[in-house]
Amino acid sequence: LKPRSNAAPTTMQGIDPSHNQPMGSWSNEQIGASVKENVMLTWAPSKMKNNLPIITHGEGVYLWDSNGKKYLDWTSQAVCTNGGHTVSENIKSAVAEQLDRTPFVYGGMAMCEVRARLSNIISSVLPEGLTGCAFPSSGSEANEAAITMARRYTGKTKIINWYRSYHGGTTNSLEATGDFRRWYIQPPPGFVKAHNPNPYFFEFAGATEEEKTEMSLLMLEEQILYEGADHVACIMLESIPGAAGVLTLPEGYMQGVRALCDKYGILLHLDEVMVGFGRTGNMWGFQHYDGVVPDIVTSAKGLSSSITPISMVAVSDKMMEFFEENPMGWGSTFQAHPVAMAAAYANIKEMLSNDVIGHVQEMAPIFEAHMKECASSHPSIKQYRAAGLFGALDIVSPDGTQPHHFNAPRTEATAAYAKAFNEVGLIGLFRPPVIHIAPPLIINEAEIKEGFEKQHQALDVLDKAL
Ligand code: PLP
């Protein structure tokens, strides 16, 4: 073989010999240099990578960085490390057991016991008439699959979504998303945006809870009629919009959406990627709305507590029947990955055995009392919302009004807050004007207290800086 000008090493010869040293032996400088040279961030200007902490390990609700600094994981990373950072022996051995059997069989070619068991246990924790049937690798892909399923099943194309929403980063789930992130792509057709029943707008009119629900549903029905019910496949909503700021819904609203879907022959898809598996004190966010059962449910994050990348789609019996005879026509190599499913299966069993949802219900009033105190004791905070261990604080607008939740620009004040937030020993998501608070579901009362003490210190900085 002739030497090629585009050749690169094909054995360990020619590779930096420090790769032969055990994990944990690279210095901060060595890690930083490789990050600077090789790593790309995707949602943010990539140079921001150089300011991120290098996390070495975690335990319970805590993480440590390579300088020995300890952080309380105040938003469960991206609201996904629901079980915290200590992986139980049961989960470790379930993963190891699957690795021993085989790390992988392709889901379109072979079945395995863990897939049968995972579908079965998920179907058992869903209301009757829903089956947990497909396991892609991310929330985005679960929504991509669900959008395709809704279109195939109904033979219609339009999907109605809220502006204040996030459904993922793949083409269709990004276009289903309402926020600024969808601007990055060439939009695919067929997505129609509706306004959320946002309490902020109705405050101007001094509307009661009932009026907020009634007005929002009237607007949604009008939109369905203008778009043509015969063209609308699905209304696809987050049960509680999470990234948009834990926008809890007015009483009776979701029941009204269900009724509109039934009236016009439209599917209801509730995206539970963030709230599914206990975040809000119920197994599913939609269980806050008495009587509401969606036709499609997607979830991810809490499914495996993010130990492995895995998501799920659940559909109604009628859809299950339809796809027995018709191909759905979407997939990926890694869907129904046996090792990912083994972690998810063990995680769900552990969640149920330890009554994690009972624990969230116990912690919820304590959490909410702290949230309320943040809102009442800091002039920089206008409002709080909380459901279970899922909370948001709204930073007041410069004119003192309720903020719009619309991708407020970072200012010197919010930058000072973000810096203080890490300095006091918290790590978490921050997208102004919303401060999300969503610790691992295993957090105890003392740790909640500790987190809010730190949160107050960071808010003191914000109060002064605003
Ligand atoms: N849907 C919701 C409600 C989400 O919050 C997210 C992520 O935050 C997604 C979908 C996308 O999930 P993933 O990032 O796993 O693709």
Cα separation of 98 and 94, whole Å? Answer: 6
Beta carbons within 10 angstroms of residue 464's beta carbon: 13
What are the start-end ranges of the E strands in 228-309? 232-238, 267-272, 296-299
Distance CA 357, CA 101 (A): 32
Distance CA 289, CA 283 (A): 13
Distance separating alpha carbons of residues 238 and 142, to the nearest angstrom: 13
238 lines ligand 1 (CB under 6 A): yes
User: Dihedral (C-alpha) 272, 278, 283, 289: value to the nearest 10 degrees?
Assistant: -70
- State if residue 166 touches ligand 1 by the CB under 6 angstroms criterion: yes
Binned at pLDDT 50, 70 and 90, residue 409 comes out as: confident
Q: In the prediction, which pLDDT does 133 show?
A: 94
In angstroms, the first-to-last Cα distance of the chain is: 67
Contact 108, 463 (CB under 8 A): no
In angstroms, the CA 353 to CA 347 distance is 10
* 284 Cβ below 6 A of ligand 1: no
Q: Is the distance from the beta carbon of residue 297 to the nearest atom of ligand 1 less than 6 Å?
A: no
**Mean of per-residue pLDDT scores for the chain:** 95
Ligand 1 center–CA 282 separation, angstroms: 19
Is ligand 1 within 6 A of the CB of residue 55?
A: no
Ligand 1 center–CA 65 separation, angstroms = 26
Q: How many Å lie between the centroid of ligand 1 and the Cα of residue 196? A: 18
Segment 413-425 shows an average pLDDT of 97
* Token pair listed for 62: 């805590």
Q: In whole angstroms, what is the distance from residue 423 CA to residue 375 CA?
A: 21
Express each pLDDT in 124-146 by its tens digit: 999 999 999 999 999 999 999 99
Element (H, E) at 447: helix 445-465
Contact 49, 41 (CB under 8 A): yes
Cβ of residue 245 lying under 6 Å from some atom of ligand 1: no
**Would you call 177 exposed, middle or buried from its count of C-beta atoms within 10 A (0-12, 13-18, 19+)?**
buried
Q: How confident is the model at residue 63 (pLDDT cuts 50, 70, 90)?
A: very high
Say if residue 198's pLDDT is above 80.
no
pTM: 0.97
Question: Kind and range of the H or E element at 342?
Answer: helix 338-353
pLDDT in tens, 277-318: 999 999 999 999 999 999 999 999 999 999 999 999 999 999
Of the candidates 449, 451, 460, 433, which has an alpha carbon nearest to the alpha carbon of residue 246? 433
Answer whether 232 contacts ligand 1 (Cβ < 6 A).
Answer: no
Nearest CA to ligand 1 atom 15: 139
Query: Does ligand 1 have an atom closer than 6 angstroms to the CB of 279?
Result: no
Q: How many CB atoms lie within 10 A of CB 207?
A: 17
Q: Is 243 in the pocket of ligand 1 (CB under 6 A)?
A: yes
As to burial, measured by CB atoms within 10 angstroms (0-12 exposed, 13-18 middle, 19+ buried), residue 397 is: middle
Which residue's CA is the closest to the ligand 1 atom numbered 11? Answer: 168
Least confident of 114-123, 199-208, 340-349: 199-208
Q: State the Cα–Cα distance between residues 347 and 88, nearest whole angstrom.
A: 9
Contact 438, 390 (CB under 8 A): yes
HSE-up of 245 (CA within 13 Å, CB side)?
A: 27
Checking if the pLDDT of 94 tops 80, the result is yes
Identify which has the larger pLDDT, 2 or 76. Answer: 76
**What is the structure's pLDDT at 401?**
75
Would you say 61 and 75 are in contact if contact means Cβ atoms under 8 Å apart?
no
Length of the chain: 466
Query: Cα(400)–Cα(405) distance, rounded to whole angstroms?
Result: 14
pLDDT at 180: 80
Best residue among 166, 239, 305 to mutate for probing ligand 1, ranked by most atoms within 8 Å of CB: 166
Cα of 131 from ligand 1 centre, angstroms = 21
Angle at 141 between CA 37 and CA 124, to 5 degrees: 130
Q: Examine the predicted complex and report whether its ipTM is higher than 0.90.
A: yes
Q: Could you report the per-residue pLDDT of 244-263, keeping only the tens digit for each?
A: 999 999 999 999 999 999 99
Integer Cα distance of 22 and 8 in angstroms: 24
The residue whose CB lies within 8 Å of the most ligand 1 atoms, and thus the one to mutate among 172, 237, 279, 301, is 301
Q: Is 75 in the pocket of ligand 1 (CB under 6 A)?
A: no
Does 168 sit in the ligand 1 pocket, CB within 6 Å?
yes
Q: Would you say the CB of residue 139 lies under 6 angstroms from ligand 1?
A: yes
Task: Kindly state if the Cβ of 352 falls inside 6 Å of ligand 1.
Answer: no
pLDDT of 199 over the 70 cut? no
Rg of the chain in Å (alpha carbons)? 23
**8 Å CB contact between 238 and 202:** no
Other beta carbons within 10 angstroms of residue 293's beta carbon come to 18
* Residues 385-399, mean pLDDT to the nearest whole number: 92
What does the pLDDT read at residue 3?
81
